A and B are shown apart, each in its own frame.
Chain A
């Protein structure tokens, strides 16, 4: 396997990270909705925390994208 093929394979493997981050983001919103339906009164006050969790989960998927871009265009 030459180096170029290995880079492209690595970039493709990085997409697994994006998919796993999708699971994470979905989990954040699913759990929030679950809790919000049980106690709708408290839901509005927790939206900030919802987006903190969303941002933390999303960042790791975006890092996977950065790894893919670095492998294709920079490395």
Chain B
């Protein structure tokens, strides 16, 4: 859609390119190691190192162990508050989910572009990734629900106190709202990250094109205010990174609550 003299393409950052192994094929599908996979591995390495420093289990925790324990404690408290005493059983899954999303979001926002030839890539700005995370959460809800309650799990669709003359409508509405959960869960994270990164790149385009403009008045009037705005938006995006990871974990724990306790 970009026209005119500017060559700023805000969608280019979401391009998935092979890093190596372009010719790898498995059952007719190309399984090249892409930049998306590279940043997922980077996320995993950062998370691994973070946990490695904090899993010493000392009686008197150091600073690092304190940092890790405050994260696990935060997620553990959230699970206990939403699911009840049984919530701690889901701590490993929800904690991994939260930390993976958080670190992937923040890694995508870090200014790696200052190093020539390196392009940061936000793993969570693709519906394929967030969709799979949402499907895993949804599948876990189904597995927990059916294994604990069997077919009684379907009583989720008929809340207590439903009047008999609404029995034809409420289950349909409840079923629909249940089935739309994985979509809303994955879509929220994907769109929030995508929209933020597009906004940042559009503003960056204003800065660069303003500095390169022929008219002298453009640089102080357009480029510098855009740059200041960009700093503010970047801080806002850091907040959004944390909030979206928190919301994903929070909604997962709410859905797990439905599966564990029914209504």
Contacts and interface: CB of A to CB of B under 8 A. Distances in A.
Q: Which secondary structure characterizes the binding site on chain A?
A: helix
Interface stretch (B108-116, B149-157, B161-169, B246-254): B246-254
A51 B195 contact: no
Interface string B229-263: 00000000000000100110011001000000000
Contacts, number: 36
Nearest to A64: B191
A62 B254 contact: no
B250 A58 contact: no
B1 interface: yes
B247 A48 contact: no
Given A48-B82, A72-B1, A62 B192 contact: yes
Given A51-B246, A51-B247, A52-B250, A58 B78 contact: no
A13 interface: no
A65 B191 contact: yes
Given A55-B250, A59-B184, 18 more contacts: A48-B78, A48-B81, A48-B250, A51-B246, A51-B247, A52-B250, A52-B254, A54-B243, A54-B247, A55-B247, A59-B187, A59-B188, A62-B187, A62-B195, A65-B191, A65-B195, A66-B191, A72-B1
